[in-house]
Amino acid sequence: MNLPTLSPLTRSLLPAVLCLFTACQTATIDPVAREAAEKRWAKELAEFERADATRPPEPGGMLLVGSSSFRMWKNVAAAFPERRVVNRGFGGSQMHELLALTDRLVWPYAPKEILVYEGDNDLASKKEPAQIEEEFRAFARLVHRRLPAATIYFVAIKPSPSRVQLLEQARETNDRIAAYCATRSWLKFIDVFTPMLQADGQPRPELFIADRLHLNDAGYALWTEVIRRELGLD
């Protein structure tokens, strides 16, 4: 079978057409997943919208999105006084829900820096590290196409005493995402995992509140130190 000969103009436009086709295929939000996430997190989304209406955030700030380790970081703005911090952590969330709600949780703020904390609940729900990595990749691609000047930071899945059985899965997920981040200048991996381990490789219990899952003041102080260093603030 003879293939048609492409004109020079068509050949010159082909890379752009293919790039546009790829973007259309990948830079989308699944409407079914979005509907499910909106239903599950309706109360939290409404609270965010009320807060935005009361005090509209300025664009170009630092946005935190992810699960309860961010939601419970009450003094995060004081930890980063050089930044305009917007905390949109919604406790119990997973990476696929953040992806599905990107237009509700990211676009309204037009952030310069986006810190992501997901994966903790994903592993607890039996997700495989490869799936979490792929969902983060999809989120990163989606955000980068809309906000190409923004830097996305993935804060490592923490090692917690209550989920010590997931330690190796957390390590694998972190390693996968760190490797991916290393391939893109606009992606950064923040390793809070390593400094949260004892010499014997077990989680440091003094960094957690009584539930042995969420951070206490000492835990957030450690996160502040590590994240400020990665942001170039210290």
Q: What is the mean pLDDT of the chain?
A: 91
* Mean pLDDT, range 101-106, rounded to an integer: 98
Q: What is the pLDDT of residues 194-210, one digit of tens each?
A: 999 999 999 999 999 99
Domains of the chain: 60-230 (3.40.50.1110)
Residues 82, 176: Cα–Cα separation, whole Å: 31
- C-beta separation of 212 from 161 below 8 A: yes
pTM of the model: 0.88
Torsional sign, CA 85, 86, 90, 95: negative
Which pLDDT does position 33 carry in this prediction? 96
Q: What is the pLDDT of residues 153-198, one digit of tens each?
A: 999 999 999 999 999 999 999 999 999 999 999 999 999 999 999 9
Which pLDDT does position 79 carry in this prediction? 98
Buried/exposed code over 124-155 (b: 16+ C-beta within 10 A; e: otherwise): beebebeebbebbbbbbebbbeebeebbbbbb
Buried/exposed code over 17-40 (b: 16+ C-beta within 10 A; e: otherwise): eeeeeeeeeeeebeeeebeebeeb
Instruction: Report the share of the chain in percent with pLDDT over 90.
Output: 87
Q: What is the pLDDT of residues 45-95, one digit of tens each?
A: 999 999 999 999 999 999 999 999 999 999 999 999 999 999 999 999 999
Residues 57, 35: Cα–Cα separation, whole Å: 25
Backbone angles phi, psi at 154, to 5 degrees: -95, 115
Location of structure tokens 């048609």: 4
Judge whether residue 23 has pLDDT over 80: no
Residues 95, 135: Cα–Cα separation, whole Å: 6
Band (pLDDT 50/70/90 cuts) for residue 27 is low
Q: Is 18 or 199 the better-scoring residue by pLDDT?
A: 199
Which pLDDT does position 17 carry in this prediction? 37
